[in-house]
Amino acid sequence: MAALTKTDFNFPNQKSVYHGKVRDVYNINDEQLIMIVSDRISAFDVILPEGIPYKGEILNKIACKFLDATADICPNWKMATPDPMVTAGVACEALPVEMIVRGYLCGSSWRAYKNGARSICGVPIPDGMKENQKFEKPIITPTTKAEQGMHDEDISKEEILKQGLVSVEDYELVEKYTMALFERGSQIAAERGLILVDTKYEFGKKNGKIYLIDEIHTPDSSRYFYAAEYKERFAKGEQQKQLSKEFVREWLMENGFQGKEGQQVPEMTSQVVQSISDRYIELYENITGETFVKSDTSHLLGRIQKNVTEYLNHGL
């Protein structure tokens, strides 16, 4: 099984390339972006040393499915999927904030709450809540969009507007889109026997119009619980069974790694890599309700080069 961890293409009319933690984004004449979802995996803002076979394809397919399923709510950047690991779309200027929406108190918000915080990103949280408890209504806890290698920072709506990171008009529209997208994602999850716990959305602008960009509702950007077990586990104070990348973070923490200075990433044996790949396939099948069919990964770079070049030449 091959894993795609590095790309260095030169596509027709290519102006630049940006290598993110997981995605490599090629700018085609400032009009289109070719986003290649690699098999790299990151946790605690660190790219782990081994790629995970099929991970990029899985994330790309889930994101495309949900972009299509929410296109009536707000415009999104997707134009085509020339390859299982590639989305082509509108080149937008990204807004410098990420919209994180939470339906339940868990993850980093629970860790902050447990340590005494009663306000997250300016949103008040009542006393007496328990881990994984549902909020009365979903809350938005934005973060700044950090430069490469830097940590995203929590920020309040008030601070975003005060700093002029996003205009009042744009923020209110993005806030409206965020809540509507989360509601739709929650409905789709419920049909699959899942709870969409929290997720993040990114937005960009092109010619004054706001678009939903990047991935949505994938296990890398979202957390899911199994609905059938939620109430019983919550009542007993047990950990929820999750569909998310959290299992990778937990494995790292069990092996003494949280991305802190001086810590070493534990050895990722072929068995560990295989188990993570298998979990991603399980995530795909649970989230989409479809069987994952593995594509031929024997010539990944050549396949992507051919498919994207044909797509771009056809569109010229």
Digitized pLDDT (tens) for each residue of the chain, 316 residues in all: 799 999 999 999 999 999 999 999 999 999 999 999 999 999 988 999 999 999 999 999 999 999 999 999 999 999 999 999 999 999 999 999 999 999 999 988 999 999 999 999 999 999 999 999 999 999 999 999 866 555 678 999 999 999 999 999 999 999 999 999 999 999 999 999 999 999 999 999 999 999 999 999 998 899 999 999 999 999 999 999 888 888 898 899 999 999 999 999 999 999 999 999 999 999 899 999 999 999 999 999 999 999 999 999 986 5
Helix 270-288 crosses helix 55-69 at what angle (to 10 degrees)?
A: 20
Residues of the chain within CATH 3.30.470.20 domain(s) are 93-243
Give the residue among 44, 93, 86 at the shortest CA–CA distance from 63: 86
List Cβ neighbours of 284 (8 Å cut-off, separation of 6 or more): 58, 61, 62, 290, 292
The domain 93-243: what is its CATH number?
3.30.470.20
Alpha helices in 11-114 (DSSP H): 55-69, 107-114
Residue matched to tokens 């085509």: 80
**Overall fold of domain 14-92+268-315:** Phosphorylase Kinase; domain 1 (3.30.200)
Beta bridge partners of 225: 195, 242
Residues of the chain within CATH 3.30.200.20 domain(s) are 14-92+268-315
The answer to whether the CB of 98 falls within 8 A of the CB of 201 is yes
